[in-house]
Structure 1
Amino acid sequence: MYARSVGRYSLLSTYAIVAMLIAAMMGGCTPSGEVVSVTERPDSTEGGASAETELPTLPLTAFPAGYDTVRVRPFDLGKMWSIDRVPTSYFQDEYDVAASEEWREHAQYAAVRFSDTCSGGFVSNTGLVVTNHHCAREHITAVEEEGESLGQRGFVASTPGQERTTPNLFIDQLVEVRDVTDEIYEGVRRLRSYVRTERVNDLEERLNEEAKSEDSALRVTVEALYQGARYKAYTYRRYTDVRLVMAPEQQVGFFGGDADNFTYPRYNMDVAFYRAYEDGEPVTPEHYFEWSSTQGSEAGSAVFAVGTPGSTSRLTTVSQVKYERDHGIPNRLAFIEPRIEAMEQFLTNADAGDWPELRNTALSLKNSQKSLQGQLNGIDAYLLARRTANERALQDSIRSVDTLRQHYRGLTRDMEQIQNAKSGVEQRARAFNGFANTQVGSRVLTRAMYGYYIDQLNSSRGVGAQLDAARREADSIADWPVQVERTLIAQRLADVRAAYGPNDPTMQRLFDDKTPEEWAEELASESRLRTQDGAQRLYSQGYRDSDDPSVSLVEAIAPLYFSVVEQLQDFRASEQSINARLNQARLAVFGTEHIAPDAASTLRISDGRVRGYTTDSTEVPAYTTFGGMYERARTKNAAPWDLPERWQAAASDSTLRAAPLNLVSTVDISGGSSGSPLVNADLELVGVVFDSNQPALPNRFLYRTEQARAIAVDSRGIIAALRHVYNAEALVQELVDGYTNVAARP
C-alpha cells in the first residue's frame, strides 16, 4: 500500500514553516542544535553559475576512472522523468517508442492527481477516473448512509443517479508546465534559501491570480526540482464535484492486510472508480487512457507509470543518507510505534464502536511504519557504496573543470558538517515530532496549538488569509475517543519532559505537582478541545483568555516548540542551499536528459518492463491470478485473508480464477504513486499501480531493479472482477468502449 505517507500535514507556526512539520514527522530533515552558516553561491537556469558564466555540459559516460568495485550506473538516481521533459531518444533506443509531443501530451492530460495524496487517470470520455481503493478509503466511508458499512460491503453504482457525491474530494488535471527558474533566481549570484522561498510564494500568488482571472477552476503551484536547482510552475484544472462509482470491499481491496503489505506475490483488488463532474454534468475529457481489457501486458513488455510520486532522496548527499539511517528514520519510527499501539488497543476492544477515521489513521500509520522499516533495513553497506561512488564521480567532475571547481567545491564537506551538528537538539526535536499534525496527534494538544496560533493571528494585521486557513484546518480535525486522547497526551508530555530534563524551568513549572498522566486525565476529561464544537466556540471567544485547562499547558510548551522549529528551519535552509548548488553542478556535468529529478508530487512518467525476479533461488512470477487469491484464502483460513460472501460465491468460476490479478514491473515509484495508470507503449492502460515489494523500499535512496518491483492491479483482472463478481456490466462497457458516444451512456 504505497500511498503517500499519512496525509494532511499541517503547519502551525508564526513563521509559516510548513515544510519543517512535514519533515519532522515523515521527511528527511531532523533537527539540530546549532545553526551552521553556509555561504551560498550562484544559481542560474542552465549551469548553476552566474548569468555571465557558461558551464560545460559533459557526456554521461564521462565518469572518472576508479569505480571498479562498485560501479556508478546510469539510472542510480532513478527514472521519474518530468512529464514535460520525456527522454525521447532513450525511450526510442530502449523500447522502440516514439515519444512524440502528441504521445507526451496524451499521457499528461489523461493523468490526474487524486486528492493531495495519490494518483489516478481518466479512463473514459465521460469523466470516469481510476485510482486505488486505499487512496479512496476515507472518502468511501465519508459517503456512507445510515446503517451502511461500505468498507465491508463495497459499492457499485448501477446508474449515474446512484453515484455518490464525495465531500472534500478533488482531482487535479495538469494543463501546463512552465520553467520559472530565471524568475526565481533572476541571475543573482548569492541567493539565500529563504529568499528563494519568498520569491516562490510571491510568484505562486501572482500566477494564481492571473490563472483564476481566466478560469476559477485553475490552480498554480511553483515547485522545486533537482533539490532547488530548477523551478517549474504547474497549472492544474481542479474538479471538485467528484462522485463514487465503484469500490470493492476492504477484504479484497487490502487482501492480506498489514501482513502482506509491501510483499509479493500479492492478490489485491486495490482499485476504485470515481467520476468527475462539472456544472452537474460528467466531464468529457479529450484525453483518457483506453482500457486494455483483453491483451493487457506480457512478461518483458515495456510499461510506463504515469503519476505523482511524493518524495525521494536520491539527489541528496551520502552524509544525509547516513543521518537518515542513524537518526531520522529511527526517530520517526519511535514516534509512530506507540501511537499505533494506542489506537489498536482501543480498536480491538469489543466496546470500541465505529471510529472509521481512527481506523484509517491506524492503517496509514502501520503502512508508514512498515515502509520506514524497509527503508532503514535497506540502507546497507552496498547502497552506501553505490551512493558514495556516485558522489565521488560528481566531485571528481567538479574538480576537473576550473569553472565548476570555482563555484562548487567543498559542498559535500559543508553538508557533512551540518549533519554532525544536528545532534545538539535531536532529542528535543524528537519530542515534538508531528506535534501539530492534524491527523496523527492528540486532538486536544493539536487544537490547543491551533488556538494559540489563531489568537496570535487575530492580534496581527494583514494575515486574513492565514487566519482563514488556520481556522479551516482546525475545524477539520475530527474527534477521537477519550481513551486514545488520554494515552496520546501522556505519551507526548512524557517525551517533552524527558527531552528537556527535570532541571528545565518550564518542566519544573509544568510537572512539579502534576505528572504527564495526570495532565492527560485532566485534559481528556475536562478540556473543551475534546470536540470540534467545543474548540470552535473557544476559538470564537478567544482561546487564550478562556479558563480551559489546556491554556496554561500550551502557553508553556508553544515557545519551546517554535524554538525547535526555528532551528529546524535554519538547518533546512542550509541543506536546501547546498543541495541546490550540488545539483546545479550535476546538471552542468550530465544534463537533464539523463538525470531524473527527485520525486516532488509533480507529474512524472517512469519506464520499465514487466518482469518477475529471483529470491533465495526461487523464481517469483510476474503475474498472480484470482485462483492464487482463492488458494491463499483457503490455506490461511483466517482474517485478513478472508473473502466477502459474493467473492466466495464466485469461487468456482473458472474464467475468474484464471484471470491475472496483480503484476510486477521495474517502473520507478514512491509514496504518492498509488493509483498511477500503468500503460503500454500505446498508452493503453494495462494496470493500476498500488504498492512496491520490500526490496523496492530502499529505492528512496538509490534506484535498483535486481529484485525491487512496483506492484499493480492487472487491467484484465479488474474487468473480470467487475463482470463475474460485481455484475457491473455498465461499468465494464464504459471501460471497454470508452464511451466515445456520450449519449450512449446508460
Structure 2
Amino acid sequence: MRLTTRFALLGTMLSIPLAAARADEGMWTFDAFPAAKMRADYGFAPDQAWLDRVRGSAVRLTGGCSASFVSASGLILTNHHCVAGCLQDLSEGGADLLKNGYVARARTEEKLCPGQQAEVVTSISDVTPQMKAAVGSLTGLAAVKARTAAGAQIEGAGCPDRKTTRCQVVTLYGGGQFKLYTYRKYSDVRIVWAPESRAEQFGGDPDNFNFPRYALDGSFLRAYENSKPVMTPQHLTWTARAPADGEATFVVGNPGTTERLLTQSQLAFSREVSAPMDALLFSELRGRFIAAMAQSPQRAREGKEDLDGIENSLKVYIGRVKALNDPALSAKMAAAEADLRSRSVGKPGIGDPWADSEKAVAAYRNIYLTRRFLRPRSDLFGYAAALVRSAAERTKPDGERLPGYSDSALPLLEKQLLDPTPVTPWVDQLKLEFYLSKAREYLGPDDADVKLLLGRESPEAMAARLIAGTKLRDPVYRRALWNGGQAAINASTDPMIRLARRLDARDRQMIALTDEQYTGPITAARGKIADARFAAYGDTLYPDATFTLRISYGKVAGWMERGKMVPTRTLMGGIYDRATGAAPFDLPSAFVTNKAKLNPNVTYDYITTNDIIGGNSGSPVIDREANVIGAAFDGNIHSLAGDYAYDGSNNRTVAVSTAALEEGLRVLYPAPALLAELHAK
C-alpha cells in the first residue's frame, strides 16, 4: 500500500552482489545506466536523448515519494497515499478531503499542500576526488567534519541561487563515491485531483504487499511558481492503455534505502538490536492509536493518516525481523562477504575494512539507545528542536555547521518549519507520551539522560503539560522564532522550546561521540570495501538506494505462487466480485453509484519485474517510447526482500494503470478539464 517505507521480508531468495546485477535487478543512477546489459537482455536500450527526457520529467517529492510531470503546465502524477497527508492537512471545518477525495474544478481551486516541495534533477556530477581529498588521512570526528565542510562548500558553489535550485552531495556505496545532484525545485505544490480514500485503500492491510489488487492509488498535483503553473515542456506523454504481457517497462523514481551492500557486522546489529525494537515499538504504538481513535468518530478521522503509516511500517518491520533471521539469507550474504574478502587479501590500500566495521558497530551498540531515545518524537517537539538547533547553526560559517543546516539545506527546512501545517493536539500528545515512556523503559529511570529528559515528571504529565502550553502549532509564532534567531530562542518561555534547549547540548555531545566512534570509521571502512568491490568485480554494480533518482528496467510478468501462475493484471469490474460489504473490502461510494457507467474490462492494477523499494511510491511506469502507462504504488509480498536482495522469479512491482486512472477521471470522480490537459498535444 505504501512504498514510502519499505524494508525486507525474505524466505530463501537472494541474488548475491558479487558481480554485475542479474536479469532485471538494479536501481541504476542516470549517469551509469547499463545500456549494454539491457540490450543483451531485451534486444534494445534507451539512448541518451530518451534518458535525458525521462530524467527531466521525473519528480522527487519531499514527503518521501516519487512522481512525474505529465503535462506542459506543471501537472504531476503520483500516488494517492503520497498526497494523503496534504488532504488531511486541508480537511478543515468538518470537511474530510481524505475520506471523500478532492477535485479542483478550476485551477483557482487547486490548494497548496503545506510542507511539500517538488524537485527535478538537472545534473549529476562526480565530486569523489574533492570529497576524499578533503578528508585525507583524517579519522573519526575530524573526518566527518571535513567531509561535511567539503560537501557544504560544493553545494554552495553548485547552487548560488537557492530560491529555485537545490544541491545535494550524495554518498554512494557507503563512502566509495560522492555525487553532486543538482535540482530545479518548486516550493509551491498544490493538490488537483484525488479519489476517495476507500478507492486507494480497498483491501486495506490484508491486501497490503499482495496481489491481485484493486486500488486506485493515483492522484495529481501541480507545481506553481510566482502564483502561476510552471511551464514543463519536458514531460512524459500520458497514454491510457493497458500494458501488454512481456513488454519492457521502466520505473523512474527515488528509492529510499536499501542494505544490499552492508557488512555482516552491520546486518548483525540490525538483526539483534534495531529491527526487533522497531517491530515492538510500532506494535505498541499501533495499539495506542487504535484505542484512542475508538473514542469518537472525530478522533477516528484525525488519527487515520498516522495509523495507516504505522500499520504499514509494522508490517515491514515484522518482515524485516523474519528476513534477518532467515538461515539461507544469512548464509548467502556471509558467503558474498567472504568471497570479496578473499579476493582483497594483500591488495594495496585495502587493509581489513571488515574488521574496522566490526569495531565501529561494536561501539555503536553502546551508543544506540541514548541516540534513539534522547530526543522524543512528535511534530511539535520536532519544530522546537529544529528551531533551537538552526538558530545556533546559522550563526556559524557554512562549513562548520551540522549536516542538515548548511545554506543549501536551510530553504527546505525553513519551508517545512513555517508552512501552515496543522497539528492535532491529541495525536501529538499520544506520540510524545509514548516516546517519553519508551525512553524511561529502555534506558531506565536512573539513567542520567532520562533524568535530563523527564526531570521528576511522568511521561504522561510531561506530555500533557507540553502540548497544552506550547504555541508552536501557530506558524506565525514559529516564524517569529525563526526570524528572531538565537535571541528569540533564548528569550522564549515556550515549554517545548525550553525542553529542546535543555536537551540540545547533550544531543550535540552524542552526535560528536557517534561521529567519532561510528560514522567516521564506518564510512572509511565502507569506502575501502567499495574500492575492493570495484577492483574485484568491476564498476558495473549499482549503489544502494539513497532516495536519489534511479531507473530500473523490467517487464510485465506474473510469477508462480504455490504451483499456480499469478495473472499480470486485474480488471476494474473485478472489484465488485471481490467486495464483501465489510471493511476493508467495502466498495468505494463512487463505484457503487457509477457501476453502470464503468467499463469493467479496463485494466486496473498490474505487475512488473522492476526492482524498486520504499520511496518509489508514485514513480511513473514508462514504456519504451517514454509514455507513462502507470504509477508504481506497491510490491508483492516477495518484493519486501528488496531491502537486501532482488529475485526476478517472484519479485514484483504493483502499479495502477493510466487506463484505470483515466476511467476514474472520466466516470468515478469526473474532471473533464484534467482529461483535456492530459491529452493536449
TM-score (norm 2): 0.86
| CA distance, structure 1, for counterparts of residue 588 and residue 549 of structure 2 | 36
Q: 1:689 to 1:503 in 2, by over 3 A?
A: closer
User: What amino acid is the match of 2:219?
Assistant: A
Q: What secondary structure, in the 3-state scheme, does the structure 2 residue paired with 1:4 have?
A: coil
| CA distance, structure 2, for counterparts of residue 470 and residue 133 of structure 1 | 24
Report the more deviating stretch, 161-170 or 615-624. 161-170
Per the alignment, residue 129 of structure 1 pairs with 76
Alignment partner of 1:310 is 2:261: no
Task: Check whether the contact 1:691–1:710 (CA below 8 A) recurs between aligned residues.
Answer: yes
| CA distance, structure 1, for counterparts of residue 222 and residue 498 of structure 2 | 48
Per the alignment, residue 2 of structure 1 pairs with 2
Q: 1:143 to 1:496 in 2, by over 3 A?
A: closer
Per the alignment, residue 199 of structure 1 pairs with 150
Per the alignment, residue 58 of structure 1 pairs with none
Task: Check whether the contact 1:115–1:170 (CA below 8 A) recurs between aligned residues.
Answer: yes
* 1:228-256 CA-partner distances (Å, limit 9, x unpaired): 21122222222234333321111112222
User: What amino acid is the match of 1:97?
Assistant: F
Alignment partner of 1:519 is 2:459: no
Match of 1:723 among 652, 660, 666: 666
Alignment partner of 1:88 is 2:35: yes
Match of 1:412 among 330, 346, 354: 354
Per the alignment, residue 318 of structure 2 pairs with 373
Match of 2:292 among 346, 369, 373: 346
- How far apart are residue 135 of structure 1 and its match? 0.8
| CA distance, structure 2, for counterparts of residue 460 and residue 284 of structure 1 | 38
Per the alignment, residue 583 of structure 2 pairs with 639
Q: 1:511 to 1:300 in 2, by over 3 A?
A: closer
Q: What secondary structure, in the 3-state scheme, does the structure 2 residue paired with 1:133 have?
A: coil
| CA distance, structure 1, for counterparts of residue 457 and residue 106 of structure 2 | 60
Match of 2:531 among 568, 584, 594: 584
User: What amino acid is the match of 1:332?
Assistant: D
Matches within 5 A, 1:599-638: 599-633=545-579, 635=580, 637-638=581-582
User: What amino acid is the match of 1:197?
Assistant: T
Unaligned 5+ segments in structure 1 are 7-25, 28-68, 741-746
- How far apart are residue 366 of structure 1 and its match? 2.3
Alignment partner of 1:271 is 2:215: no
Q: What secondary structure, in the 3-state scheme, does the structure 2 residue paired with 1:396 have?
A: helix
Q: What secondary structure, in the 3-state scheme, does the structure 1 residue paired with 2:285 have?
A: helix
Q: 1:145 to 1:351 in 2, by over 3 A?
A: closer
* 1:394-428 CA-partner distances (Å, limit 9, x unpaired): 223223xx5xx222132122212333343324443
| CA distance, structure 2, for counterparts of residue 183 and residue 245 of structure 1 | 43
Q: 1:175 to 1:257 in 2, by over 3 A?
A: same
- How far apart are residue 524 of structure 1 and its match? 4.3
User: What amino acid is the match of 1:271?
Assistant: G
Task: Check whether the contact 1:378–1:695 (CA below 8 A) recurs between aligned residues.
Answer: no
- How far apart are residue 510 of structure 1 and its match? 7.7
Per the alignment, residue 713 of structure 1 pairs with 656
Task: Check whether the contact 1:251–1:641 (CA below 8 A) recurs between aligned residues.
Answer: no
Matches within 5 A, 1:317-466: 317-350=263-296, 352-353=298-299, 356=302, 358-379=303-324, 380-399=326-345, 405-432=347-374, 435=375, 437=377, 441=378, 443=380, 445-446=381-382, 449-450=385-386, 453=389
Report the more deviating stretch, 130-139 or 447-456. 447-456
| CA distance, structure 2, for counterparts of residue 535 and residue 279 of structure 1 | 24
Per the alignment, residue 667 of structure 1 pairs with 610
Task: Check whether the contact 2:73–2:229 (CA below 8 A) recurs between aligned residues.
Answer: yes
Q: What secondary structure, in the 3-state scheme, does the structure 1 residue paired with 2:271 have?
A: helix
* 1:101-135 CA-partner distances (Å, limit 9, x unpaired): 11211221122223352111122233322111111
* 1:410-452 CA-partner distances (Å, limit 9, x unpaired): 21222123333433244434433xx365xxx263x44554565
- How far apart are residue 301 of structure 1 and its match? 1.9
- How far apart are residue 711 of structure 1 and its match? 0.6
| CA distance, structure 1, for counterparts of residue 199 and residue 613 of structure 2 | 23
Q: 1:509 to 1:124 in 2, by over 3 A?
A: closer
Q: 1:275 to 1:537 in 2, by over 3 A?
A: closer
| CA distance, structure 2, for counterparts of residue 320 and residue 396 of structure 1 | 19
Larger CA Rg, structure 1 vs 2:
1
Identical-residue share of aligned pairs (%): 28
Q: 1:169 to 1:554 in 2, by over 3 A?
A: closer
Report the more deviating stretch, 725-734 or 457-466. 457-466
Q: What secondary structure, in the 3-state scheme, does the structure 2 residue paired with 1:718 have?
A: helix
Per the alignment, residue 38 of structure 1 pairs with none
Q: 1:336 to 1:560 in 2, by over 3 A?
A: farther
* 1:298-344 CA-partner distances (Å, limit 9, x unpaired): 22221110111111111221221222121122223333333333333
Q: How many equivalent pairs are there?
A: 659
* 1:539-575 CA-partner distances (Å, limit 9, x unpaired): 8685566666667766665554444333333312211
Task: Check whether the contact 1:114–1:131 (CA below 8 A) recurs between aligned residues.
Answer: no
Alignment partner of 1:651 is 2:602: no
Q: What secondary structure, in the 3-state scheme, does the structure 2 residue paired with 1:386 have?
A: helix
Per the alignment, residue 66 of structure 1 pairs with none
* 1:522-546 CA-partner distances (Å, limit 9, x unpaired): 4444555676677777886855666
Q: 1:349 to 1:478 in 2, by over 3 A?
A: farther
* 1:483-542 CA-partner distances (Å, limit 9, x unpaired): 445544443333333444454456568878544334344444455567667777788685
User: What amino acid is the match of 2:358?
Assistant: E
Q: 1:162 to 1:395 in 2, by over 3 A?
A: same
| CA distance, structure 1, for counterparts of residue 184 and residue 387 of structure 2 | 33
| CA distance, structure 2, for counterparts of residue 280 and residue 615 of structure 1 | 51
Task: Check whether the contact 1:656–1:724 (CA below 8 A) recurs between aligned residues.
Answer: no
Per the alignment, residue 49 of structure 1 pairs with none
Q: What secondary structure, in the 3-state scheme, does the structure 2 residue paired with 1:643 have?
A: coil
Per the alignment, residue 18 of structure 1 pairs with none
Unaligned 5+ segments in structure 2 are 9-14
RMSD value, Cα = 3.5
Task: Check whether the contact 2:257–2:545 (CA below 8 A) recurs between aligned residues.
Answer: yes
| CA distance, structure 1, for counterparts of residue 316 and residue 448 of structure 2 | 39
| CA distance, structure 2, for counterparts of residue 141 and residue 397 of structure 1 | 54
- How far apart are residue 469 of structure 1 and its match? 7.9
Per the alignment, residue 11 of structure 2 pairs with none
Q: What secondary structure, in the 3-state scheme, does the structure 1 residue paired with 2:166 have?
A: strand
